Amino acid sequence: MDWYRIANVETLDTPALVVFPERVKENIRAAIAMTGSADRLRPHVKTHKSPDCTRLQLAAGITRFKCATIAEAEMLAIEGAPDVLLAYQPIGPKAERFAQLIRKYPATLFSCLIDNPDAATAMAKTFAGAGLDVPVYLDINVGMDRTGIAPGDEAIQLYQLAAETKGITPVGLHAYDGHIRDADVAERTRKCDEGFAKVEALRESIGAIAGVKAARMTIVAGGSPTFPVHAKRAAIADDGARTPSAPVQCSPGTFVYWDKGYGDGFPDQPFQPAALVVSRVISKRSGTRLCLDLGHKSIAAENELSRRVFFLNGPDLKPIGQSEEHLVVETDAAAMCRVGDVFYGVPYHVCPTVALYDRAVTVEDGRVTGSWKNIARDRVLTI
Protein backbone atom coordinates (compact mmCIF):
# COMPACT_ATOMS: atom_id res chain seq x y z
CA MET A 1 0.00 0.00 0.00
CA ASP A 2 1.21 3.53 -0.71
CA TRP A 3 2.73 5.07 2.43
CA TYR A 4 0.16 7.85 2.63
CA ARG A 5 -3.06 5.85 2.24
CA ILE A 6 -5.25 5.59 5.34
CA ALA A 7 -6.93 2.22 5.88
CA ASN A 8 -9.73 3.67 8.01
CA VAL A 9 -10.12 6.87 6.02
CA GLU A 10 -13.91 6.53 6.27
CA THR A 11 -13.56 7.76 9.89
CA LEU A 12 -11.81 10.94 8.79
CA ASP A 13 -13.87 14.04 8.09
CA THR A 14 -12.42 16.26 5.39
CA PRO A 15 -10.75 18.55 4.65
CA ALA A 16 -8.18 17.40 7.18
CA LEU A 17 -4.56 17.99 7.99
CA VAL A 18 -2.85 14.68 8.76
CA VAL A 19 0.63 14.03 10.13
CA PHE A 20 2.71 10.87 10.14
CA PRO A 21 4.69 10.83 13.44
CA GLU A 22 7.22 8.23 12.29
CA ARG A 23 8.11 10.38 9.31
CA VAL A 24 8.41 13.41 11.57
CA LYS A 25 10.87 11.48 13.75
CA GLU A 26 12.88 10.51 10.68
CA ASN A 27 13.07 14.14 9.58
CA ILE A 28 14.28 15.17 13.03
CA ARG A 29 16.94 12.45 12.97
CA ALA A 30 18.04 13.57 9.51
CA ALA A 31 18.42 17.19 10.65
CA ILE A 32 20.54 16.16 13.62
CA ALA A 33 22.68 13.95 11.40
CA MET A 34 23.30 16.86 9.03
CA THR A 35 24.70 19.06 11.81
CA GLY A 36 26.42 16.24 13.67
CA SER A 37 24.84 17.20 16.99
CA ALA A 38 21.48 18.27 18.39
CA ASP A 39 23.36 21.14 20.05
CA ARG A 40 23.88 22.72 16.63
CA LEU A 41 20.14 23.02 16.03
CA ARG A 42 17.74 25.81 16.99
CA PRO A 43 14.68 24.75 14.95
CA HIS A 44 11.90 27.21 14.22
CA VAL A 45 8.50 26.02 15.47
CA LYS A 46 6.42 28.21 13.14
CA THR A 47 5.81 25.20 10.89
CA HIS A 48 4.22 22.78 13.35
CA LYS A 49 2.96 24.98 16.23
CA SER A 50 2.43 21.75 18.14
CA PRO A 51 3.31 20.63 21.68
CA ASP A 52 3.47 17.03 20.44
CA CYS A 53 6.02 17.82 17.75
CA THR A 54 7.97 19.89 20.27
CA ARG A 55 8.13 16.86 22.57
CA LEU A 56 9.58 14.74 19.76
CA GLN A 57 12.32 17.32 19.23
CA LEU A 58 13.07 17.51 22.95
CA ALA A 59 13.18 13.71 23.14
CA ALA A 60 15.74 13.74 20.33
CA GLY A 61 18.03 15.96 22.41
CA ILE A 62 17.19 19.37 20.91
CA THR A 63 17.22 22.02 23.65
CA ARG A 64 17.25 25.31 21.71
CA PHE A 65 14.31 26.64 19.75
CA LYS A 66 13.26 29.64 17.68
CA CYS A 67 9.77 31.09 17.26
CA ALA A 68 7.95 34.09 15.82
CA THR A 69 5.12 34.82 18.27
CA ILE A 70 4.57 35.13 22.00
CA ALA A 71 2.13 32.21 21.77
CA GLU A 72 4.76 29.97 20.14
CA ALA A 73 7.24 31.00 22.84
CA GLU A 74 4.75 30.13 25.57
CA MET A 75 3.98 26.76 23.96
CA LEU A 76 7.69 25.95 24.09
CA ALA A 77 7.96 27.04 27.72
CA ILE A 78 4.94 24.94 28.69
CA GLU A 79 6.72 21.92 27.22
CA GLY A 80 9.88 22.68 29.18
CA ALA A 81 12.09 23.96 26.38
CA PRO A 82 15.30 25.19 28.06
CA ASP A 83 16.22 27.92 25.55
CA VAL A 84 13.82 29.96 23.38
CA LEU A 85 14.68 32.74 20.94
CA LEU A 86 11.79 34.98 19.90
CA ALA A 87 13.00 35.80 16.39
CA TYR A 88 11.19 39.10 16.47
CA GLN A 89 11.74 42.55 17.88
CA PRO A 90 8.91 42.88 20.44
CA ILE A 91 7.47 46.37 19.98
CA GLY A 92 4.73 48.09 21.98
CA PRO A 93 2.50 45.71 23.96
CA LYS A 94 4.60 42.73 22.82
CA ALA A 95 7.50 43.91 24.98
CA GLU A 96 5.31 43.87 28.08
CA ARG A 97 3.85 40.50 27.11
CA PHE A 98 7.37 39.14 26.62
CA ALA A 99 8.36 40.40 30.06
CA GLN A 100 5.33 38.66 31.56
CA LEU A 101 6.27 35.47 29.74
CA ILE A 102 9.80 35.54 31.13
CA ARG A 103 8.51 36.05 34.66
CA LYS A 104 5.94 33.26 34.35
CA TYR A 105 8.38 30.63 33.04
CA PRO A 106 11.69 31.16 34.87
CA ALA A 107 12.99 27.69 33.91
CA THR A 108 13.24 28.76 30.24
CA LEU A 109 15.98 31.09 29.03
CA PHE A 110 14.27 33.56 26.72
CA SER A 111 15.93 35.92 24.25
CA CYS A 112 14.78 38.16 21.40
CA LEU A 113 16.03 40.28 18.50
CA ILE A 114 16.97 43.95 18.12
CA ASP A 115 17.77 45.87 14.93
CA ASN A 116 17.05 49.48 15.86
CA PRO A 117 18.45 51.71 18.64
CA ASP A 118 15.10 53.35 19.48
CA ALA A 119 13.36 49.99 19.67
CA ALA A 120 16.18 48.50 21.74
CA THR A 121 16.03 51.40 24.19
CA ALA A 122 12.25 51.14 24.56
CA MET A 123 12.41 47.37 25.06
CA ALA A 124 15.20 47.71 27.60
CA LYS A 125 13.15 50.22 29.59
CA THR A 126 10.23 47.79 29.75
CA PHE A 127 12.46 44.85 30.72
CA ALA A 128 14.43 46.80 33.32
CA GLY A 129 11.16 48.04 34.81
CA ALA A 130 10.17 44.43 35.28
CA GLY A 131 13.48 43.66 36.97
CA LEU A 132 14.76 41.67 33.97
CA ASP A 133 17.95 41.53 31.97
CA VAL A 134 17.04 39.94 28.63
CA PRO A 135 19.59 38.41 26.25
CA VAL A 136 19.29 39.90 22.76
CA TYR A 137 20.66 39.00 19.34
CA LEU A 138 21.42 41.64 16.74
CA ASP A 139 19.24 40.90 13.73
CA ILE A 140 21.53 41.31 10.72
CA ASN A 141 20.20 42.01 7.23
CA VAL A 142 22.16 39.79 4.85
CA GLY A 143 19.94 40.39 1.84
CA MET A 144 16.44 39.29 2.86
CA ASP A 145 15.72 43.01 3.30
CA ARG A 146 12.77 42.39 5.58
CA THR A 147 14.17 43.16 9.02
CA GLY A 148 17.65 43.59 10.41
CA ILE A 149 20.46 46.10 10.47
CA ALA A 150 23.18 46.11 7.82
CA PRO A 151 26.49 44.58 8.93
CA GLY A 152 28.78 47.53 9.51
CA ASP A 153 29.40 50.51 11.79
CA GLU A 154 25.74 51.01 12.73
CA ALA A 155 25.49 47.38 13.82
CA ILE A 156 28.61 47.77 15.96
CA GLN A 157 27.13 50.89 17.55
CA LEU A 158 23.87 49.04 18.24
CA TYR A 159 25.81 46.24 19.93
CA GLN A 160 27.62 48.78 22.10
CA LEU A 161 24.33 50.49 22.97
CA ALA A 162 22.81 47.18 24.02
CA ALA A 163 25.88 46.35 26.11
CA GLU A 164 25.60 49.65 27.96
CA THR A 165 21.81 49.67 28.44
CA LYS A 166 20.16 48.26 31.54
CA GLY A 167 17.55 45.62 30.78
CA ILE A 168 19.20 43.95 27.76
CA THR A 169 22.48 42.14 27.15
CA PRO A 170 23.77 41.34 23.63
CA VAL A 171 24.78 37.70 23.24
CA GLY A 172 25.07 37.12 19.51
CA LEU A 173 23.98 37.72 15.95
CA HIS A 174 20.96 36.49 14.00
CA ALA A 175 21.12 36.22 10.21
CA TYR A 176 18.17 34.89 8.22
CA ASP A 177 18.94 34.39 4.53
CA GLY A 178 15.55 33.16 3.34
CA HIS A 179 15.94 35.03 0.06
CA ILE A 180 18.55 32.51 -1.13
CA ARG A 181 16.57 29.79 -2.89
CA ASP A 182 18.70 28.72 -5.85
CA ALA A 183 18.00 25.16 -6.97
CA ASP A 184 21.65 24.82 -7.96
CA VAL A 185 23.47 23.75 -4.79
CA ALA A 186 26.77 25.38 -5.77
CA GLU A 187 25.11 28.74 -6.44
CA ARG A 188 23.05 28.54 -3.26
CA THR A 189 26.23 27.76 -1.31
CA ARG A 190 28.13 30.63 -2.93
CA LYS A 191 25.45 33.19 -2.07
CA CYS A 192 25.05 31.83 1.45
CA ASP A 193 28.79 31.93 2.14
CA GLU A 194 29.03 35.45 0.70
CA GLY A 195 26.36 36.73 3.09
CA PHE A 196 27.73 34.81 6.05
CA ALA A 197 31.23 36.20 5.51
CA LYS A 198 29.84 39.66 6.32
CA VAL A 199 28.32 38.31 9.53
CA GLU A 200 31.61 36.69 10.56
CA ALA A 201 33.46 39.92 9.80
CA LEU A 202 30.99 41.83 11.96
CA ARG A 203 31.50 39.34 14.78
CA GLU A 204 35.25 39.91 14.59
CA SER A 205 34.82 43.70 14.53
CA ILE A 206 32.53 43.68 17.53
CA GLY A 207 34.99 41.46 19.35
CA ALA A 208 37.86 43.83 18.64
CA ILE A 209 35.98 46.98 19.65
CA ALA A 210 33.90 45.69 22.55
CA GLY A 211 36.60 43.43 23.99
CA VAL A 212 34.45 40.34 23.51
CA LYS A 213 36.02 37.13 22.25
CA ALA A 214 34.39 36.59 18.87
CA ALA A 215 34.39 32.83 19.29
CA ARG A 216 32.00 33.20 22.22
CA MET A 217 29.45 35.22 20.25
CA THR A 218 26.79 32.88 18.93
CA ILE A 219 25.43 33.22 15.41
CA VAL A 220 21.94 31.91 14.68
CA ALA A 221 21.85 31.43 10.93
CA GLY A 222 19.68 30.43 8.04
CA GLY A 223 16.39 28.69 7.43
CA SER A 224 15.53 25.58 5.44
CA PRO A 225 16.99 26.44 2.00
CA THR A 226 20.49 27.23 3.31
CA PHE A 227 20.41 24.74 6.18
CA PRO A 228 22.82 22.26 4.51
CA VAL A 229 25.38 25.05 4.04
CA HIS A 230 25.29 26.34 7.61
CA ALA A 231 25.17 22.78 8.97
CA LYS A 232 28.72 22.21 7.72
CA ARG A 233 30.26 25.28 9.35
CA ALA A 234 33.04 24.80 11.90
CA ALA A 235 33.65 26.82 15.02
CA ILE A 236 36.40 29.27 15.82
CA ALA A 237 37.93 28.40 19.17
CA ASP A 238 39.42 30.99 21.54
CA ASP A 239 42.88 30.27 20.15
CA GLY A 240 41.73 30.85 16.59
CA ALA A 241 41.71 27.18 15.60
CA ARG A 242 38.77 25.56 13.87
CA THR A 243 36.83 23.10 16.01
CA PRO A 244 33.83 20.85 15.34
CA SER A 245 31.49 22.37 17.97
CA ALA A 246 30.51 25.59 16.23
CA PRO A 247 28.75 28.52 17.87
CA VAL A 248 26.75 28.68 14.63
CA GLN A 249 23.25 27.44 15.42
CA CYS A 250 21.08 26.36 12.49
CA SER A 251 17.39 27.22 12.52
CA PRO A 252 15.39 25.39 9.84
CA GLY A 253 11.68 24.95 10.48
CA THR A 254 9.92 23.32 7.53
CA PHE A 255 12.06 20.17 7.76
CA VAL A 256 9.77 18.55 10.35
CA TYR A 257 6.84 18.31 7.91
CA TRP A 258 8.54 19.30 4.61
CA ASP A 259 6.40 20.27 1.63
CA LYS A 260 6.12 20.20 -2.14
CA GLY A 261 7.67 23.63 -2.64
CA TYR A 262 10.88 22.82 -0.80
CA GLY A 263 10.90 19.23 -2.01
CA ASP A 264 10.92 20.39 -5.62
CA GLY A 265 13.26 23.31 -5.01
CA PHE A 266 15.85 21.57 -2.85
CA PRO A 267 16.06 17.88 -3.80
CA ASP A 268 19.54 17.81 -2.21
CA GLN A 269 17.92 17.73 1.22
CA PRO A 270 16.97 14.33 2.73
CA PHE A 271 13.61 15.24 4.23
CA GLN A 272 10.31 13.59 3.34
CA PRO A 273 6.72 14.86 3.42
CA ALA A 274 5.25 14.12 6.84
CA ALA A 275 2.06 16.20 6.69
CA LEU A 276 -0.70 16.06 4.07
CA VAL A 277 -4.12 17.52 3.45
CA VAL A 278 -6.85 14.97 2.79
CA SER A 279 -9.80 15.99 0.62
CA ARG A 280 -12.91 14.40 -0.89
CA VAL A 281 -14.77 14.83 -4.14
CA ILE A 282 -18.00 16.58 -3.18
CA SER A 283 -19.42 17.17 -6.66
CA LYS A 284 -18.92 16.09 -10.28
CA ARG A 285 -19.16 18.85 -12.80
CA SER A 286 -19.00 18.63 -16.60
CA GLY A 287 -17.14 15.74 -18.20
CA THR A 288 -13.62 16.57 -16.99
CA ARG A 289 -14.26 18.53 -13.81
CA LEU A 290 -14.51 17.65 -10.15
CA CYS A 291 -15.09 19.77 -7.06
CA LEU A 292 -13.14 18.98 -3.86
CA ASP A 293 -13.67 20.28 -0.33
CA LEU A 294 -10.29 22.04 -0.24
CA GLY A 295 -10.86 25.77 -0.31
CA HIS A 296 -8.81 28.80 0.75
CA LYS A 297 -9.60 27.95 4.38
CA SER A 298 -7.93 24.54 4.05
CA ILE A 299 -4.71 25.08 2.07
CA ALA A 300 -2.29 28.01 1.96
CA ALA A 301 -3.43 30.20 -0.92
CA GLU A 302 -0.61 32.73 -1.26
CA ASN A 303 0.85 30.96 -4.30
CA GLU A 304 -0.80 31.00 -7.71
CA LEU A 305 -3.43 28.31 -8.18
CA SER A 306 -1.26 25.61 -9.72
CA ARG A 307 1.20 25.80 -6.80
CA ARG A 308 -1.00 25.23 -3.76
CA VAL A 309 -1.38 21.46 -3.57
CA PHE A 310 -0.10 18.36 -5.36
CA PHE A 311 -2.22 15.24 -5.13
CA LEU A 312 -0.19 12.07 -4.65
CA ASN A 313 -2.94 9.83 -5.97
CA GLY A 314 -4.08 12.32 -8.59
CA PRO A 315 -0.97 13.95 -10.10
CA ASP A 316 -2.92 14.91 -13.22
CA LEU A 317 -5.52 16.91 -11.28
CA LYS A 318 -5.27 20.50 -12.50
CA PRO A 319 -6.77 23.16 -10.22
CA ILE A 320 -8.78 25.66 -12.26
CA GLY A 321 -10.72 27.51 -9.56
CA GLN A 322 -10.83 27.91 -5.80
CA SER A 323 -13.03 29.69 -3.27
CA GLU A 324 -13.36 29.56 0.49
CA GLU A 325 -14.65 25.98 0.74
CA HIS A 326 -14.20 24.57 -2.77
CA LEU A 327 -11.45 23.56 -5.18
CA VAL A 328 -12.44 22.83 -8.77
CA VAL A 329 -10.02 20.58 -10.66
CA GLU A 330 -9.85 19.27 -14.17
CA THR A 331 -8.80 15.73 -15.10
CA ASP A 332 -9.32 13.34 -18.00
CA ALA A 333 -10.06 10.68 -15.37
CA ALA A 334 -13.09 12.52 -13.97
CA ALA A 335 -15.53 9.98 -15.40
CA MET A 336 -13.90 7.24 -13.31
CA CYS A 337 -14.17 9.25 -10.07
CA ARG A 338 -17.08 9.14 -7.69
CA VAL A 339 -18.45 11.62 -5.22
CA GLY A 340 -16.75 10.71 -1.94
CA ASP A 341 -13.44 9.63 -3.48
CA VAL A 342 -10.44 10.65 -1.37
CA PHE A 343 -7.38 12.54 -2.55
CA TYR A 344 -4.16 12.97 -0.60
CA GLY A 345 -2.39 16.29 -1.17
CA VAL A 346 1.09 17.60 -0.36
CA PRO A 347 0.91 21.34 0.37
CA TYR A 348 3.32 23.51 -1.57
CA HIS A 349 3.68 25.64 1.57
CA VAL A 350 2.97 23.66 4.70
CA CYS A 351 3.63 26.36 7.34
CA PRO A 352 0.60 28.61 6.66
CA THR A 353 -1.44 25.50 5.82
CA VAL A 354 -0.92 24.18 9.36
CA ALA A 355 -2.08 27.53 10.75
CA LEU A 356 -5.49 26.93 9.12
CA TYR A 357 -6.18 23.87 11.31
CA ASP A 358 -6.69 23.69 15.06
CA ARG A 359 -5.35 20.13 15.04
CA ALA A 360 -3.54 17.62 12.90
CA VAL A 361 -4.85 14.06 12.75
CA THR A 362 -2.15 11.47 13.40
CA VAL A 363 -1.74 8.46 11.13
CA GLU A 364 0.35 5.51 12.34
CA ASP A 365 0.71 2.13 10.66
CA GLY A 366 -1.73 3.30 8.02
CA ARG A 367 -4.56 4.14 10.44
CA VAL A 368 -5.96 7.25 12.10
CA THR A 369 -4.86 7.07 15.73
CA GLY A 370 -5.46 10.47 17.31
CA SER A 371 -4.54 14.11 16.88
CA TRP A 372 -2.00 16.80 17.70
CA LYS A 373 -3.36 20.21 18.63
CA ASN A 374 -1.74 23.16 16.87
CA ILE A 375 -2.21 25.38 19.91
CA ALA A 376 0.28 28.05 18.83
CA ARG A 377 -1.79 28.93 15.77
CA ASP A 378 -3.57 31.22 18.23
CA ARG A 379 -1.93 34.57 18.87
CA VAL A 380 -2.52 34.31 22.62
CA LEU A 381 -2.37 31.32 24.97
CA THR A 382 -2.41 32.76 28.49
CA ILE A 383 -0.26 35.89 28.07
pLDDT at residue 1, as a whole number = 74
Task: Give the separation between CA 76 and CA 64, rounded to whole angstroms.
Answer: 10
pLDDT at residue 14, as a whole number = 98
Is the full-model pTM beyond 0.75? yes
pLDDT at residue 246, as a whole number = 43
Could you report the per-residue pLDDT of 74-130, keeping only the tens digit for each? 999 999 999 999 999 999 999 999 999 999 999 999 999 999 999 999 999 999 999
Tell me the percentage of the chain whose pLDDT exceeds 70: 96
99 CB-contact burial (10 Å; exposed 0-12 / middle 13-18 / buried 19+): buried
Task: Give the separation between CA 122 and CA 136, rounded to whole angstroms.
Answer: 13
pLDDT at residue 226, as a whole number = 98
Report the mean per-residue pLDDT for the chain: 95
Closest CA to 276 of 325, 348, 365: 348
Side chain identity, residue 350: V
Side chain identity, residue 36: G
* Residues in contact with 154: Cβ distance below 8 Å, sequence separation at least 6, in sequence order: none
Q: Is 364 within 8 Å of 22 (Cβ atoms)?
A: yes
Could you report the per-residue pLDDT of 307-327, keeping only the tens digit for each? 999 999 999 999 999 999 999
Catalogue all structural domains in the chain, each as residue range(s) with its CATH number: 9-13+270-377 (2.40.37.20), 21-257 (3.20.20.10)
Task: Give the separation between CA 275 and CA 50, rounded to whole angstroms.
Answer: 13
β-pair type (367-373, 64-67): unpaired
Could you report the per-residue pLDDT of 174-185, keeping only the tens digit for each? 999 999 999 999
pLDDT band for position 39 (cuts 50, 70, 90)? very high
* Residues in contact with 57: Cβ distance below 8 Å, sequence separation at least 6, in sequence order: 28, 43, 65, 256
pLDDT band for position 218 (cuts 50, 70, 90)? very high
Average of per-residue pLDDT across 138-151: 98
Residues in the chain: 383
Q: Is 21 within 8 Å of 364 (Cβ atoms)?
A: yes
Could you report the per-residue pLDDT of 234-291, keeping only the tens digit for each? 654 444 444 443 479 999 999 999 999 999 999 999 999 999 999 999 999 888 999 9
Task: Give the separation between CA 314 and CA 345, rounded to whole angstroms.
Answer: 9
pLDDT at residue 213, as a whole number = 64
pLDDT at residue 208, as a whole number = 87
Tell me the percentage of the chain whose pLDDT exceeds 90: 92
